[in-house]
Amino acid sequence: MTRPGVERWHDRLALVTGASVGIGAAVARALVQQGLKVVGCTRTVGNIEELAAECKSAGYPGTLIPYRCDLSNEEDLLSVFSALRSASTMPAWAGLTPFSQLEGDAQCERAGLSICTREAYQSMKDMSGHRVVPQFVTHFYSATKYAVTALTEGLRQELHDKDPEKAAATYEHIKCLQPEDVAEAVIYFLSTPPHVQIGDIQMRPTEQVT
C-alpha cells in the first residue's frame, strides 16, 4: 500500500547502496513497494537479482535494477552515476565488517559515501527542496572528529560492565530492530512534505537502556 505523501516520488529514481542484504535490501524492497525505480548497488548482484524477481512476482509498482558496484572503487562509482544522472534520493547502507578489512571499511563508508553524495548532488541540485552547503573541508574534518567520539563512547559502554557475559545477557531478551524497521523510517522520511527537513532520526529497541 502506498504511503500518503510518497506519491510525488512515483517513477523517480532512487540509488540504494549495499542493497544485497540487511537494511539495504529492506530499503530497496520498501521503495519498490512505493512505486520508485530503484538501482540497487553491490559488489555481487546475485541477491539483488533474486530480490528484483521477488518484487516483480509480488506485483509491486516500482522496479528494482541490480547494478554491480564496489563502493571502495571510484571508477565503479563514477560508472554508476554516468549511467544514471537522474537520482532523486540516495539511501546508503553499504559497509564491510571483518576487522581485517577495517581500512576497506573506512574507504567504503567515508570516501565511497562522499563520492556518491558528490555525484548524486549533480542530479539533485536543480530540484527544489535540496540544499547543500559547499564547505567540504569542514564536513570531512567534523566526520573524522565524530569517528573518534563514536569509538570512545562505544568503548566506554563496552567497559561499563567488566563482566562480558553479564553484559551480553542483558541484551539476550531484547527484541532488536529489524531491517524492515529502518526501511519504514526511510519511507516516513520520503512521505514528509517538501517544506519539512529531517536532520536526524534516532532508533533503538524499546527495552534498550543505553
CB 9 within 8 A of CB 33: no
- If asked whether residues 57 and 151 sit together in one domain, one would say no
> Which pLDDT value is given to residue 96?
43
Residue 66 pairs in a beta bridge with 40
Number of domains in the chain: 2
Q: Characterize the bridge pairing of strands 87-89 and 63-68.
A: unpaired
Provide the pLDDT for residue 91. 61
Assess whether 41 and 95 both reside in one domain. yes
Residues that are catalytic: 141
SS3 40: strand
Report residue 16: phi and psi, to 5°: -115, 115
pLDDT in tens, 71-117: 778 888 888 888 776 666 656 555 444 434 444 455 555 566 677 77
Least confident of 40-54, 122-136, 157-171: 122-136
Q: Which domain, by its residues, includes 203? A: 1-131+177-209
| Cα 39 to Cα 80: distance, rounded to the nearest angstrom | 9
Work out the mean pLDDT of the chain and round it to a whole number.
78
Helix (H, G, I), strand (E, B) or coil at 139: helix
Q: Supply the DSSP symbol for 92.
A: B
User: Which DSSP state fits 165?
Assistant: H
Q: Which of 45, 142, 123, 46 is nearest to 84 (CA)?
A: 123
Question: Can you give the CATH number for the domain in which 190 is found?
Answer: 3.40.50.720
